[in-house]
Structure 1
Amino acid sequence: MLSRSSFLAVIATIAATNVVAAPFTYVNERFGTVCTFPDDIFTDRQPEPDNGDGQQWLSADGASLICSGILNIDDDTPKGFVAAEKASSEPGYKVTYSKASKDWAVLSGLKDGNIFYERRLFGRDGVIRTVWIEYPPAAKSKYDPLVGAIAGSLKAR
């Protein structure tokens, strides 16, 4: 369940964007990943993958949101994850911002011409929980105010 202060932060951020948005809380049954987002923006729920690791939603203006989990089989750390992503030579992928603590990491940058923001929580239960938000640069003024609240809602059930 989303804490009262996190829920209020999501509502305040949504209200500040001048977009009437209804908050929706997704809970992934397999990994216990939880995130809250405006489901009147991310309206097109994609089919859940066979492995049940998460869910993706699309918006009418080309944005996407993924809330998922994976087993941390390589015993990855936030700092290791950030270092690997910053060193990536994947074409069209560039990290422009990163931050890591002992149990979370944040990345932002460009992927194939879109802006992305990713937050990962490294759980003591051996699960990495992720929220990934991607949107076209033309929609930056719409999504930038939402990213922090959506990413901040990521947690373990």
Structure 2
Amino acid sequence: MRRLSSIMAGFAAITVGSATAAPFTYVNERFGTVCTFPDDIFTDRQPEPENGDGQVWLSADGASLTCSCILNIDNDTPKGFIAAEQASKEQSYTIAYSKTGKDWAVLSGRKDGKIFYERRLFGRDGVIRTVWIDYPPALNSKYDPIVGAIAGSLKGP
């Protein structure tokens, strides 16, 4: 219950004065992944891929949110994921922050000119659950306060 309270508090800065009373909770039917976010910001739901591995939402101001899942067929770990990302040679990709726990990893930085925040959960069920949020740097005062709450809402069954 404490976690839900902190998620709701994270959204309070954005939803105060808006028409939306409660955030939207997405549940992925294939993997049971859950992600909660303000649907008055991420309003443009993209078509779900045929394999049912997740969903993408876009905002009117150029941000995007992805909640997705993959099977962990390579037995990847949080530390292995971070190490691989830090070794990336992709020109438009820089990592400013990374942290791992027993079954999770977080990355933040810039990709293709946008700020990104990614959280991955490595489930005992062999599924990696991911939330990815990116937004233009000029909008960091709008998105920085809510990315932690959105990422913290990511969970599996």
- TM-score using structure 2 length: 0.94
AA of the residue aligned to 2:135: Y
Q: Deviations over 1:79-98 (max 9, x none)?
A: 00000001101120111100
Moved more, 20-29 or 54-63: 20-29
| CA deviations over 1:6-26 (Å, ceiling 9, x no partner) | 322222112224463430000
Q: Please state if 1:140 is matched with 2:153.
A: no
User: Paired residue for 2:91?
Assistant: 91
Q: Mind listing any 5+ residue stretches in structure 2 that lack a counterpart? A: none
Alignment partners' CA distance in 2, 1:113 and 1:19: 30
Shifted more, 122-131 versus 5-14: the winner is 5-14
Give the whole-Å Cα distance in 1 for the aligned partners of 2:33 and 2:138: 30
Q: 2:11 aligns with which of 10, 14, 26?
A: 14
Counterpart-to-counterpart distance in 2, 1:111 and 1:44: 21
What percentage of aligned pairs have identical amino acids? 75
Match of 2:154 in 1: 154
SS at match of 1:156: coil
- Matching of residues 4-153 of structure 1 within 5 Å: 4-17=1-14, 18=16, 20=18, 21=20, 22-153=22-153
1:102 CA drift (Å): 1.4
Shift of 1:59: 0.3
Amino acid at match of 2:155: K
Q: Secondary structure of 2:116's match?
A: strand
Query: 2:3, 2:54 → 1: CA distance?
Result: 21
CA RMSD of aligned residues (A): 1.1
Deviation at 1:138, TM superposition (A): 0.7
Deviations 1:11-43 (Å, cap 9, x if unpaired)? 211222446343000000111111100000000
Q: How many residues align?
A: 154
